[in-house]
Amino acid sequence: MSEEVQIDQEVYDRLIAGGTSERIARAKAKAASVRKAKIAEGQTLGPRPAEQASQALEQFRSSQGSGGGGVATKTAADDAGTSGGRLTPEERSARVAASLGGGNGDASIGVPTSGQHTHRLLALVPPAGIQQVQSKQMDKVYTWPHLLLVEFVALLAVGSLLLVASFFLDAPLGSLANPNEVPAINKAPWYFMGLQELLRYFHPMVAGVTLPGVAVVLLMAIPYLDKNPSARPENRKVANLAFTFFMTFWGILVIIGSFLRGAGYEWVWPWTQGLGFTL
């Protein structure tokens, strides 16, 4: 049937020259000739205005029951705001009935012609349909018991360790401070020992302000310096190196300050004057 349609040679040549494939160019050229013929007949092409659709619907409504019709199709929505852009179920079934030949109710075609609404049943979805497992989920564990059990055991272990340590180690508050009697060994808490150790080597301005300031600035700059997006520890060379360097450096200072400094904050070996460490 499609062979009867003449192709528009001008359109065809233009499309072929433009690099369009032969098949598509042929189809478009055929469409162009059909369009031309329709325009020559005085038909208007393109989407029809909403009023026209509303008029067609009103016409159908007024002529309802006197035959006519065609296949029930969607009627264009009424942008003009008139009463019916959409067929009511009764109208639609009337239109179907009309299209089937005056609504003689022939049951053999399988469509009720009375005021019943017809829809095609696509499928009934049985329970098996949604219980299907496509692939096994491998990387999912629940917080309880997998995480909380481990955390609870860790809590018990650390708690008992602290209990035993507090039983054997004394941590007295000591006597009231006397400004006239300065103790021979005066140290900061262990976590400040690194800082106190630095004071031994540098001017207080440098040890107390500059160096910690530089450390804090470097800490803040880490996201800008180390842009490695990997979340795998083995790939984070810079981060690992920076952390290891800082912890080693600070750890050594804390150990020296805690254990190797005696009276007057002088260097002493533990085997000469004992461990210079007080809680």
Partner 1 sequence: MGKTDKGEHPLMFDDYVVQQVDPQWLQERVKPKRHIGLTPELCILCRACEDVCPWECIYMMSPNIVKDADSPSLMTLASQSHAVFIIDDNECTRCAICVERCPSDALWLGRVDG
Residues that bind partner 1 (CB under 8 A): 71-74, 77, 85-86, 88-89, 92, 96, 108-112, 116-117, 119-130, 132
C-beta of 119 vs 140, nearer to partner 1:
119
The answer to whether residues 51 and 60 touch, using CB atoms and an 8 Å cutoff, is no
Give min distance, CB of 110 to partner 1, in A: 4
C-beta of 76 vs 254, nearer to partner 1:
76
Give min distance, CB of 139 to partner 1, in A: 21
- Provide the 10 A C-beta neighbour count for residue 49: 13
Give min distance, CB of 189 to partner 1, in A: 60
Taking the C-alpha atoms of residue 118 and residue 11, their distance in angstroms, rounded to an integer, is: 45
Q: In whole angstroms, how far apart are CA 274 and each of 39, 259, 270? A: 111, 9, 4
Give min distance, CB of 234 to partner 1, in A: 36
C-beta of 123 vs 173, nearer to partner 1:
123
Tell me: cis bond preceding 145? Omega within 30 of 0 counts. yes
Give min distance, CB of 241 to partner 1, in A: 46
Considering only CA atoms, which of 176, 193, 181, 192 is closest in space to residue 276? 193
Considering only CA atoms, which of 121, 56, 107 is closest in space to residue 82? 56
C-beta of 89 vs 251, nearer to partner 1:
89
Enter the DSSP assignment of 261: B
- The contacts of residue 186 (CB under 8 Å, 6+ apart) are 265
C-beta of 121 vs 182, nearer to partner 1:
121
C-beta of 77 vs 147, nearer to partner 1:
77
Q: Which two tokens stand for residue 98?
A: 């009309």
Give min distance, CB of 84 to partner 1, in A: 11
